[in-house]
C-alpha cells in the first residue's frame, strides 16, 4: 500500500477544501491511500469540514489542518507545511502539493503517481496545457515567461501542482528560496524534475483572491530567486551598451575633426546627449550593484529551521482508522 501526503494551502476556502478532498477520495485507485493536510494560512473564517462523506469508502484515510499563526501567503504557507511534514514521523512515499480551489485537478494525480513509480527519485510537476483566464492575464503570463527566460536562462512553465519524493523533501526545505517561490526553488535546487501536461480545473466555489498586484509580486519573487544571474545579465548588457556608447562618442569626434561631413552644432549636441545617456547607465549600474550587495546581506528564512515560529495548533478532521 502506497501512502501519499497531499499538502494544500487554504485561506478561507473551506468549501473548496471539502470538494477537493471528496474528489481525491473518489479517485479509482487501488493500493493507494491519501493523507490530506490543509495549511490554514491565517484564515479569518472558522474551519469547517464534514468527514461523513468519506466514511463509507475511498482512498482518503486522514484529513487534518495545520494552522499558521498569521497569513503568510500561498508560497510561504507551502514551505512551512513541507518543513513541518519533514519533522513528522509519518510513513509515506511522496508528497503532492496542490492548490485547494479546484484549479489543480485531482484527475491528474493518478498519472503523477504512475510516473513517480517509474522514476521514484525525481520531482514531477504539472504544466497547464489550457488556461481559462482572461486575455490580459494570458498576455501578462506570456510576457513574464519570456522575461524569465531572458533574464534567468531557464523556462518556468509550472505552478504549485507537483509530486516530491520523500527522499527529496529534506533537500528542498533546507533551501531559503522555498520561502519565496516554490516553482523557482525547485528549479534552483537542481533536483531532477520532469513536467507533465495537466488541464486546468474550474474553481469549485467563489472567486479567486488573486489580483494583478499579487501576481506581479509573485512573478518578481520568482525572479529574485535567481538574483545573481539576473544581476549579472543586466550588468553585462548595460556594460555592452556603455562600451557601444563610448565607441559612438569616439566615432562622432572622428567625424567632427577628421572629416568635413559634419554640420555646425551637430557633433556637440549628439556628444552631449550620448554623455548624458552614458552617465545615466553608469549611475543605474552603480545603484543596481549597491542594491545587489544589500540584498546579499539580508537574513534568509530557511523553512527547516524557522517553521516552528509559524506553525501553531493542529486540527484533525477525519481519520478512517480511528
pLDDT in tens, 50-77: 988 888 889 999 999 999 999 999 999 9
The reported pLDDT for the residue numbered 131 is 61
The CATH number of residue 104's host domain is 3.90.550.60
Of 15-29, 197-211, 243-257, the poorest mean pLDDT is in: 197-211
The reported pLDDT for the residue numbered 155 is 85
Number of structural domains the chain divides into: 1
Looking from the CA of 229 toward its CB, the CA atoms found within 13 Å total 14
Instruction: Phi first, then psi: give them for residue 113, nearest 5 degrees.
Output: -65, -40
Render pLDDT for 107-132 as a digit per residue (tens, 0 to 9): 999 999 999 999 999 999 999 876 66
Please tell me the pTM assigned to this model: 0.85
The reported pLDDT for the residue numbered 210 is 63
How many other C-beta atoms can be found within 10 angstroms of the C-beta atom of residue 20?
A: 26
For residue 68, being part of any structural domain is answered with yes
For residue 34, being part of any structural domain is answered with yes
The reported pLDDT for the residue numbered 255 is 82
Mean pLDDT of 187-209: 85
For residue 129, being part of any structural domain is answered with yes
For residue 201, being part of any structural domain is answered with yes
Of 79-83, 175-179, 263-267, 300-304, the poorest mean pLDDT is in: 263-267
The reported pLDDT for the residue numbered 119 is 93
The reported pLDDT for the residue numbered 299 is 67
The reported pLDDT for the residue numbered 203 is 82
Looking at the DSSP bridge assignments, the partners of residue 3 are 33
For residue 215, being part of any structural domain is answered with no
For residue 26, being part of any structural domain is answered with yes
Res 136 pLDDT > 90: no
Distance, in Å, from the CA atom of 143 to the CA atom of 145, rounded to the nearest integer, reads: 5
For residue 188, being part of any structural domain is answered with yes
Distance, in Å, from the CA atom of 188 to the CA atom of 181, rounded to the nearest integer, reads: 10
The band of 83, judged by pLDDT with boundaries at 50, 70 and 90, is very high
The reported pLDDT for the residue numbered 262 is 65
For residue 289, being part of any structural domain is answered with no
Mean pLDDT of 151-166: 91
How many other C-beta atoms can be found within 10 angstroms of the C-beta atom of residue 315?
A: 13
- Residue 200 DSSP one-character state: B
Range of the domain at 129: 2-139+154-209+302-319
Do residues 31 and 2 lie in contact, with contact meaning Cβ atoms separated by under 8 Å? Answer: yes
With pLDDT > 70 as the criterion, what percentage of the chain qualifies?
Answer: 94
Amino acid at each position: 500500500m502506497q501512502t501519499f501526503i497531499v499538502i494544500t494551502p487554504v485561506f478561507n476556502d473551506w468549501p473548496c477544501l471539502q470538494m477537493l478532498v471528496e474528489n481525491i477520495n473518489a479517485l479509482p485507485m487501488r493500493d493507494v491511500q491519501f493523507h490530506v493536510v490543509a495549511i490554514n494560512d491565517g484564515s479569518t473564517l472558522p474551519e469547517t469540514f464534514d468527514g461523513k462523506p468519506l466514511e463509507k469508502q475511498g482512498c482518503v484515510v486522514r484529513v487534518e489542518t495545520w494552522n499558521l499563526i498569521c497569513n503568510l501567503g500561498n508560497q510561504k504557507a507551502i514551505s512551512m507545511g513541507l518543513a513541518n511534514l519533514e519533522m513528522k514521523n509519518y510513513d509515506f512515499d511522496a508528497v503532492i502539493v496542490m492548490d485547494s480551489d479546484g484549479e489543480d485537478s485531482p484527475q491528474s494525480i493518478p498519472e503523477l503517481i504512475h510516473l513517480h513509480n517509474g522514476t521514484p527519485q525525481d520531482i514531477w510537476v504539472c504544466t497547464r496545457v489550457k488556461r481559462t483566464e482572461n486575455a490580459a492575464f494570458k498576455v501578462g503570463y506570456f510576457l513574464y515567461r519570456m522575461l524569465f527566460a531572458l533574464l534567468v536562462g531557464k523556462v518556468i512553465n509550472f505552478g504549485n501542482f507537483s509530486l516530491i519524493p520523500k527522499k527529496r523533501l529534506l533537500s528542498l526545505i533546507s533551501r531559503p528560496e522555498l520561502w519565496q517561490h516554490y516553482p523557482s526553488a525547485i528549479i534552483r535546487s537542481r533536483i531532477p524534475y520532469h513536467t507533465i501536461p495537466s488541464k486546468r480545473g474550474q474553481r469549485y466555489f467563489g472567486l479567486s483572491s488573486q489580483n494583478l498586484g499579487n501576481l506581479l509580486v509573485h512573478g518578481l519573487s520568482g525572479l529574485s530567486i535567481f538574483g545573481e544571474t539576473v544581476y549579472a545579465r543586466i550588468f553585462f548588457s548595460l556594460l555592452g551598451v556603455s562600451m557601444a556608447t563610448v565607441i559612438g562618442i569616439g566615432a562622432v569626434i572622428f567625424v567632427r575633426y577628421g572629416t568635413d561631413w559634419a554640420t555646425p552644432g551637430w557633433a556637440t549636441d549628439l556628444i552631449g546627449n550620448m554623455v548624458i545617456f552614458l552617465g545615466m547607465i553608469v549611475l543605474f549600474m552603480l545603484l543596481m550593484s549597491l542594491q545587489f550587495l544589500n540584498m546579499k546581506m539580508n537574513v534568509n528564512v530557511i523553512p527547516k529551521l524557522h517553521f516552528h515560529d509559524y506553525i501553531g495548533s493542529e486540527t484533525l478532521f477525519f481519520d478512517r482508522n480511528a
